[in-house]
Structure 1
Amino acid sequence: MRDGGETVTFDFAPMVDIVLLLLIFFFLTSSLGARQTALPLDLPRASSAVKESPALPIVSVDPAGKVYLNGEATPLTSLGARLRPLAQASGGVVGLRADENGQYGTVVEVMDVIRRAGGTRLALGTRLPAASGATP
């Protein structure tokens, strides 16, 4: 109490409003992030693998030689045009995921298209090592 007999109160409504707005903001931004749709690829294992950045454009090649850009089927003929702005936005870094049993010739063609589209560095996709430490 103060000298004049008044009771000091704290209004929680503005604080609750701010917390709710922050929650809504974080829910929306997390759901609008780059989504990676899972393709049935059998990636090779690497003992020094690290997790990729979600901001990278990802080019995938399945065992049949079909090409995907960020999980969306893309003909090899139009891959360069669609990849060019994404490669520029990522500073020239492009992720490449190819099935372990895939067609080597298609992977080389895709690498050539990535280079012509402005990709200066490749982040090759591999499986993370098993948690038990056993080598495959």
Structure 2
Amino acid sequence: MASISSNDEEITGINITPMVDVILVLLVIFMVTANFLQKESININLPKAEQADPNIAESVQVAIMKNGEILHEGKEITGENLFKILNRDSKIKPNMRLTLSADSGLNYGKVTELMGVIRKAGVTRIALSVKKG
């Protein structure tokens, strides 16, 4: 009677080429999607302070650039549109928190004017963004 398996040799090596191919494909996918997840940064020269608030990420971000341009969550906006958006959002979330970033070279009057628009929209919790140092 013939044996069922005539090939009783030991396996001496494992072919890892398919595993390397899969890992390389995953690496390429992560590299491509990482570019889409990157948050745009705003170049503002913030004033320095001894202590900074660690909870800035949990608030709405508003910035005023040196040239007077207003940004809401990184997108350029007019003061009137900012008022409308904040007025709507403050009614939905009454304890909404807003972080205002202003360039250190900006006129103080521009900052207080923008703070007035923010307060008029119903936002009472305003933090000023500073650079720890």
Q: Normalised by the size of structure 2, how large is the TM-score? A: 0.64
CA–CA distance in 2 between the matches of 1:103 and 1:52?
26
Partner of 1:77: 80
Q: Does 1:96 find its partner at 2:96?
A: no
The answer to whether the 8 Å contact 2:59/2:96 transfers is: no
Please state whether the residue corresponding to 2:114 is helix, strand or coil: helix
Structure with greater strand percent: 2
Post-superposition shift, 1:98? 0.2
Percent of residue pairs identical: 27
- Deviations, residues 34-71 of structure 1 (Å, cap 9, x unaligned): x8631110001111112233231111000011101111
Write 1 or 2 for the structure with the bigger share of helix. Answer: 2
2:47 to 44, 47, 51: 44
Once residues 92 and 79 of structure 1 are traced to their aligned partners in structure 2, the CA distance between those partners, rounded to angstroms, is 15
- Residue of structure 1 in register with 2:15 after alignment: none
- 1:53 equivalent among 41, 56, 62: 56
Larger C-alpha radius of gyration, 1 or 2? 2
Which whole-Å CA distance do the structure 1 matches of 2:117 and 2:105 have between them?
21
Task: Describe the SS at the equivalent of 1:49.
Answer: coil
CA RMSD of aligned residues (A): 2.1
Give distance in 2, aligned partners of 1:90 and 1:43: 28
Give the Cα separation in 1 of the matches to 2:56 and 2:89: 14
- Paired with 1:45 and 1:91, the residues of 2 have a C-alpha distance of 27
Q: Under a length normalisation based on structure 1, what TM-score does the superposition of the two structures give?
A: 0.62
Corresponding residue of 1:108: 112
Is 1:120 the counterpart of 2:124 in the alignment?
Answer: yes
Partner Cα separation in structure 2 for residue 125 and residue 87 of structure 1: 20
Q: Which amino acid aligns with 2:82?
A: L
Give me the whole-angstrom Cα distance separating, in 1, the residues matched to 2:94 and 2:41: 21
Structure 2: segments with no counterpart, 5+ residues: 1-33
